[in-house]
Amino acid sequence: MNDAVEDLIALLDLEQIELNLYRGHSPETSWQRVFGGQVIGQALMAAYRTVDEDRICHSLHAYFIRPGDPKVPILYEVDRARDGRSFTTRRVIAIQHGRQIFNLAASFQVKEKGFEHQAPMPTVPAPEDLPTDRERREAIMDRLPEEMRTHFARPRPIEMRAVSPQQFIDPSPADPEFKVWFRSAIPMPTSVAMQQSVLAYASDMTLLDTCIRPHGVSWLSGKLQSASLDHAMWFHHPFSTDDWMLYVQDSPSAVGARGFNRGSIFTRDGLLVASVAQEGLIRYRG
């Protein structure tokens, strides 16, 4: 099995240490702070551990409060806010060093039938016709400082192929839109809880980059401070992260050192399976 995927599965397989209390860890390859998508995925998995199996998460809303420390475990405390006839609500607090670093509210629903409509998926090149993210990274490896190379070249559990990518170094300004195909590097466990947690993890990988595209800056410059401030997801249909999905992202606004981003996630055959919104911190010290 791909080691990076094995690590992601292990990250999401939380240890229960008491009723409503779970412990998660970070990979040894974490750099400076815990990746936001990891905390979202772990918190969603903690919530799932307290919910009846016939209920599926349809939405989550989260706030990043403090940077996560990758050197120590994260405790996830679940508040069983409500168990209703159709909906279940959970609140999850992530704790390190005795303080909240993150909180999440998630709602779960029994399956129901109702009206259906969706926005269409845009027409883009197929993933097989695009360079891999790894190929793009390897092409500039010799231009990076030594201390960045290991982190930049590390194996990743999510394979990505970008449509109209910017350069990693000295990018030219571009429209505040970004489309990328992605899938898990190898098949993942098929449970709904795992699939949604993996998608939540992946949804934070490229979204914040969208709001800096018009400004021609790169985090590799060392001059950009960026971090997710909040994150929201709505799950519309079942999906498999083993299959290629298209992440269509745009940024309607950047103001006050904050960038707002939206995303729509489609299956390869055009089914809209999830929607995402996020605001992030973007400070440039040129």
* Residue 125 resides in a domain: no
Distances (CA, A) of 14 to 34, 83, 190, 195: 16, 22, 17, 15
In this prediction, residue 27 carries a pLDDT of 84
* Residue 124 resides in a domain: no
Cα(229)–Cα(90) distance, integer angstroms: 20
Q: What is the DSSP string of the chain?
A: --HHHHHHHHHHSPEEEETTEEEE---TT-BSB--HHHHHHHHHHHHHTTS-TTEEEEEEEEEE-S---TTS-EEEEEEEEEE-SSEEEEEEEEEETTEEEEEEEEEEEE--------PPPPP---GGGS--HHHHHHTTGGGS-HHHHHHHHS--SEEEEEESPPPSSSPPP--SEEEEEEEESS-----HHHHHHHHHHHHTSSTGGGGGGGGT--GGGS-EEEEEEEEEEEE-S---TTS-EEEEEEEEEEETTEEEEEEEEEETTS-EEEEEEEEEEEEE--
In this prediction, residue 162 carries a pLDDT of 93
Domain that holds residue 255: 3-111+131-284
* Residue 11 resides in a domain: yes
In this prediction, residue 1 carries a pLDDT of 47
How crowded is the C-beta side of 129, counted as CA atoms within 13 Å?
A: 5
* Residue 120 resides in a domain: no
* Residue 116 resides in a domain: no
In this prediction, residue 169 carries a pLDDT of 73
The CATH number covering residue 176 comes to 2.40.160.210
Ranges of the chain whose pLDDT falls below 70: 1-2, 29-31, 143-153
The pLDDT tens digits of the residues spanning 48-71 come to 999 999 999 999 999 999 999 999
* Residue 239 resides in a domain: yes
The residues that are catalytic are 204, 228, 278
| Contact (CB, 8 A) for 14 and 76 | yes
* Residue 121 resides in a domain: no
* Number of domains within the chain: 1
The pLDDT tens digits of the residues spanning 208-265 come to 999 999 998 887 777 889 999 999 999 999 999 999 999 999 999 999 999 999 999 9
- Report which of 1, 40, 14 is spatially closest to residue 198, judged by C-alpha positions: 40
In this prediction, residue 153 carries a pLDDT of 65
In this prediction, residue 134 carries a pLDDT of 79
Read off the tokens for 118: 């969706």
On the 0-12 / 13-18 / 19+ scale of CB atoms within 10 A, 187 is middle
* Residue 103 resides in a domain: yes
